[in-house]
Amino acid sequence: MAAQIPPQVKTFLDKPLFAVLATQSPSGRVQATPVWYMLADGHILINTSAGRTKLRNMEANRGVALAILDRENPYKYVQIQGKVVKFDRESGAKDIDRLSQRYHGRPYQYPPTDNPKNRTNTMGF
């Protein structure tokens, strides 16, 4: 079940701000990665590619933290701690395009090391 998001926090999260995702490896090492995100059905959606450390960490340990910073004032931020509740490989290619539209105004441009079949959504918090 998605958490209830206060209106002022939802307004903040609706902006295309960058987030820093913190995950933990099976050995206990913490990794922090800047990511795109969006609200989807009351959850935070993050998209990544197969083979990425953050995906392996989330598959091994669903506990994560996310810090979303305001671009003009980095002391204005939202921090969320929670768990990944779903991995979605079927919608990954569609949703990386949605995220790219949100952040760049165009479909995602795949680098040579990636392709649509590699994309995975994580939803949580």
pLDDT digits (tens, 9 = 90+) for 65-122: 999 999 999 999 999 999 999 999 999 999 999 999 999 999 999 999 999 999 999 9
Q: Which fold has domain 7-106?
A: Pnp Oxidase; Chain A (2.30.110)
pLDDT, position 3: 67
Cα–Cα distances in angstroms (integers) from residue 33 to residues 1, 2, 14, 48, in the given order: 26, 23, 20, 11
Query: In this predicted model, what pLDDT tens digit does every residue of 74-88 receive, in sequence order?
Result: 999 999 999 999 999
Query: In this predicted model, what pLDDT tens digit does every residue of 7-61 receive, in sequence order?
Result: 999 999 999 999 999 999 999 999 999 999 999 988 999 999 999 999 999 999 9
pLDDT, position 2: 62
Distance of CA 38 to the CA centre of its chain: 7
Q: Where are the alpha helices (DSSP H) in the chain?
A: 7-13, 53-60, 92-104
Domain spans of the chain, in order of start: 7-106
Cα–Cα distances in angstroms (integers) from residue 58 to residues 14, 27, 30, 62, in the given order: 24, 13, 11, 5
| pTM beyond 0.85 | yes
Which residues 6+ apart lie within 8 Å of 116 measured at CB?
92, 93, 96, 110
Query: In this predicted model, what pLDDT tens digit does every residue of 12-25 receive, in sequence order?
Result: 999 999 999 999 99
pLDDT, position 97: 97
- Strand ranges for the chain from DSSP E: 19-24, 30-35, 38-40, 43-49, 63-69, 77-88, 119-124
Residue 1 has pLDDT above 60, yes or no: no
